[in-house]
Chains A and B, each alone.
Chain A
Amino acid sequence: MMFVVKRLLLTIPILILVSIMTFSLIHMIPGDPARVILGQEATPEAYEALRAELGLDKPIVTQYFTWLGNVVQGDLGMSITDRVPVADLILQRLPATIELTIGTFIFALIIAIPTGILAAVRRNTWIDYTASFTALGGMSIPNFWLALMAIIYFSVENQWLPSSGYVPFSEDPKANLMAMLLPCMVTGLRESAMLMRMLRSSLVEVVHMDFVRTAKAKGLNEVRMVLGHALRNALIPVVTTSGLMIAGLLGGLVITESIFSIPGFGRLIVESVFKRDYVTVQGAILVSAVLVVVVNLLVDLLYAVIDPRIKAGKGAEG
């Protein structure tokens, strides 16, 4: 428990650092929101007026502290372009991305665990080579292409699944799952490649360890030996990779979100950067940083579950 509290306290300086970096980076990009909002129709007066209205005429340090002061009170501010609270925008977009991330992860596991085990057990056979080849393909194929092909096959040629039409789970669970199946499958396939490779190589390593050799000598068959002894020990690096993967997916599903027209969190960040919606970018990145911290914390806690020798907080090396 102390560990969790300590970790959570540690996130405060991280978040402040992230916010300062985001704030400076977005202000460093040329182009300002007033100009982007007004477009080519801007008159100089309208431009100045809008800058003043958005508080952009104040010194940047003042802008930062005003923003920080509000955030501490739980107010992420108003979106510059949409004029709705940033918190609302984030809450509107986050569920879809979390669902997409979980779905992707589940698909990735369903594919990666059996193939990874099979490739490790039957290493250097055609099964292993086929699995590795497919994994390499999965990592190399551009996601947008795979997504378009999936839409053409599953929605256009055969009308099995909808090509778009995200609805929140709370509104219509069935329609929601139907709409999310295809995107989760497509990204899950890609993400499984990395997990499968990771699982295979760490299993191969574990299989050569003494305790496994002993088990083998005792006459345990290979499959039982892998499932019963080796798999658990091989899972540590897989869990680490999964943590990184999930953290990455939470903000990095932009392409999937735009092809399947899912109003997700990744798109919110990218679109806001293009619109120079500073306030939304800052809020979203902050939330994103919190998510990464939380995922990493969960991964650390999970190490202890997988291998009781590891005390939470001591890291995977323990």
Chain B
Amino acid sequence: MLSSKFLKTASALLLSGALLLSGCGGGGDTAAPSKDGGAKAANSSNKVLNIGIKADPPSLDPAQSTSLYDRYVQNSLYDKLFDVNEKGEIVPMLATSYEVSPDGLKYTLKIKEGVTFHDGTKLDAEAVKFNLDRYRGEGSKRKGELKFITDVKAVDPATVELVLEKPFTPLISTLTDRSGMMVSPEAAKKAGDDFRNSPVGTGPFTFVEQVKGDHVTLKKNENYWNGEVKLNEVNFKVFTNQSAGVQNLRSGALDILDEVPVKEIPGLEKDPNFEVISAANYGYQGIHLNMSTAPFDNKYLRQAFDRAIDRETVVKVLFDGYSSPANSPFSPGHLVYGDSDKSEKPDAAVIKDLLAKGGKPDGFSFTMQISTSPANEQFGAVLQNMLKEHNIDMKLEKVEYGTMLDNSEKGTYQAMQLGWSGRVDPDQNIYDFNVTGAPNNKSRYSNPEVDRLINEARSEQDNTKRKALYDQVMEILHDEVPYTYIFHNYDRFGVSKKVKGFTYVPDGIIRTANLDKE
């Protein structure tokens, strides 16, 4: 006989299973998932937009933020002093205009009047001063971007004056990003360190909640200064697996996905309900060559390596055309972009000659560190095969991102695949990577002429002159090859046709203020 205890346990288990099955299975027909994203059903007047993002935003406080995913959410919460439009031009936002003194040392900003923060406090020159001083202060991650500002003065309620230590042309462009985001001084003072978890801005949406690792929910700012906001709610949902993200887009649980895997693009484009919006952003990918150690302390071997890479093929094989070949840190979206970005097909004779000049006529071998992801593994393998043709033997060492940053800092590597997400101003794509001793100069490159030219370009206001200076820099960099530029990243947004008003801005950030949903 079965003991009654056992019977009870077994039947309880089975019963609860059956209950779960019948309870949910039965509901399946009546409560089919709402097109507005699974759980939070929405009626017709309640427009909810769900955006899938690849990682969790760690800090919504612009002063503490270092992640791209923060910027996605922040752009809906905060307005900035300036913005970038779809052509990559800088346009007014909370600052209506600005003037630069002839010596480039004084910027006068006019601040928009009548704008209030989500907590009801007023945006004025004092608030702008508070923000910029906060970003320049101890412990702020924005300190580096604003380091040339020596003083911020609130001249009158609508005028702010920025005093610079030396001319710094990229200043206005940094104010189109986190350094230009205006947070409520009252709220920031009150929340202190916790402001990252309770953000208050002037943006089109106000903060509701963040469940770490899952989602951030924002709701419509009813008093938005820049026109009526059409959506009632925006959810940023974390989808670490992008293939699952695509299926959620198709099931209607998401309206926008931030990064559609290349292999999923053809399928999505065939579907009349979706479109893939893809364009070059400001970033680039390539390889750091450590000039402080063999083999890349040898210029000819760096050149041989650089010339052996067929960028067209990389782009075609890995991205099916959803990226473009690069030979400079400047993207098509940058005003200084031009011929310096062109590359040539590898020429076996030239490479052989370079190897001979470098003292390695029979080729050489080295190890490249690359971060772990299936896409990177492919990338590494493609490069490996290209180089093998020219007797260059590249070994791959898969290293996790955190470790890679550590190794780059210590210089314990020969070659390292690490790109840059890119910034609006060209200076921010070249300065820190190539100037002697700059924080991102992982190749340990030093050339006084390059330092001089990049510094001059940094204080030059005229774009034509700046371009000429960068062209000169690129000529030297192409000869000395501290870094091999390989391709420009494309953003690949998957967007449901129900979403109206989506415009691509080359900084790769979604602007939700004008979005609508059918």
Instruction: Please report A residues at the B interface, Cβ cutoff 8 Å.
Output: 29-32, 35-44, 46, 49, 53, 81-84, 89, 92-93, 103, 106-107, 109-110, 144, 147-148, 151-152, 155-156, 159-167, 172, 174-179, 181, 184, 227-228, 232, 258-261, 263, 267-268, 271, 274-276, 302, 305-306, 308
Contact = CB atoms under 8 A, between A and B. Distances in A.
B27 A174 contact: yes
B247 A155 contact: yes
A159 B32 contact: yes
Smallest CB-CB A-B distances: 4 pairs: A165-B38, A31-B402, A162-B38, A263-B214
A162 B247 contact: no
B344 interface: no
Given A30-B403, A92-B212, A162-B33, A40 B440 contact: yes
B141 interface: yes
B488 to A, nearest CB: 17
A165 B39 contact: yes
Contacts of B243: 148
Contact of B24 (A42, A155, A165, A181): A181
A211 to B, nearest CB: 13
A106 B20 contact: yes
7 contacts: A35-B405, A46-B143, A49-B138, A92-B211, A163-B251, A181-B20, A268-B213
Given A43-B439, A110-B17, A148-B244, A274 B31 contact: no
Interface in B49-67: 56, 58-59, 66-67
Nearest to A182: B24
Given A83-B194, A162-B33, A165-B40, A228 B406 contact: no
A31 B405 contact: yes
B241 A259 contact: yes
- Max count, chain A CB within 10 A of own CB: residue among B5, B40, B58, B244: B244
Interface stretch (B232-240, B330-338, B457-465, B510-518): B232-240
B141 A163 contact: no
Nearest to A267: B213
B39 A35 contact: no
A172 B2 contact: no
A31 B403 contact: yes
B401 A274 contact: yes
A35 B406 contact: yes
A152 B249 CA distance: 11
B208 to A, nearest CB: 14
Secondary structure type dominating chain A contacts: helix
B28 interface: yes
A164 B66 contact: no
A232 B214 contact: no
B5 A305 contact: yes
B239 A53 contact: no
B439 A42 contact: yes
B16 interface: yes
Contact of A174 (B31, B67, B409, B439): B31
Kindly name the residue among A41, A107, A274 whose own CB sees the greatest number of chain B CB atoms within 10 A. A41
Determine which residue in B138, B409, B420 has the highest number of CB atoms from chain A within 10 A of its CB, and name it.
B409
Nearest to A107: B17
Interface in B18-45: 18, 20-21, 23-25, 27-29, 31-33, 37-40
A162 B56 CA distance: 21
Interface in B212-235: 212-214
A36 B405 contact: yes
Nearest to B139: A49
Nearest to B410: A30
B253 interface: yes
Contact of A162 (B5, B250, B253, B407): B253
Given A31-B405, A106-B16, A274-B400, A179 B38 contact: yes
Given A35-B406, A109-B17, A178-B33, A308 B3 contact: yes
B212 A151 contact: no
Given A81-B58, A83-B196, 13 more contacts: A30-B406, A103-B20, A110-B14, A148-B247, A151-B244, A155-B253, A159-B251, A162-B33, A164-B248, A176-B39, A179-B38, A181-B24, A274-B402
A179 B39 contact: yes
A165 B66 contact: no
Contact of B9 (A31, A147, A268, A305): A305
Nearest to A29: B403
B144 interface: yes
A160 B406 contact: no
A65 to B, nearest CB: 25
Contact of A36 (B16, B40, B402): B402
Contacts of A110: 14, 17-18, 21
B422 to A, nearest CB: 11
Given A151-B251, A228-B2, A31 B406 contact: yes
B116 interface: no
B13 A106 contact: yes
B33 A165 contact: yes
B32 A160 contact: yes
A232 B253 CA distance: 45
Contacts of B1: 228
A178 B141 contact: no
A258 B238 CA distance: 9
A17 to B, nearest CB: 26
A99 B401 CA distance: 32
A155 to B, nearest CB: 4
B23 A144 contact: no
Contacts of A166: 39, 214
B6 A232 contact: yes
Nearest to B214: A263
Nearest to B56: A271
- Which of B14, B39, B407, B420: most chain A CB closer than 10 A? B39
Nearest to A145: B243
A113 B31 CA distance: 30
A163 B197 contact: no
Contact of B28 (A31, A161, A172): A161
Contacts of A107: 17
Contacts of B405: 31, 35-36, 39-40
B269 interface: no
Interface in B379-418: 400-407, 409, 418
Given A41-B66, A82-B212, A107-B17, A163 B401 contact: no
B193 interface: yes
Contact of A163 (B16, B194, B253, B439): B253
B12 to A, nearest CB: 11
Given A40-B420, A82-B58, A260-B244, A160 B144 contact: no
A5 B451 CA distance: 70
A38 B64 CA distance: 9
B31 A178 contact: yes
Given A36-B401, A306-B6, A261 B239 contact: yes
Contacts of B403: 29-31
A167 B211 CA distance: 11
Contacts of A276: 402
Contacts of B13: 106, 109
A306 to B, nearest CB: 6
Given A32-B402, A93-B213, A165-B39, A44 B439 contact: yes
Contacts of B144: 41, 43, 46
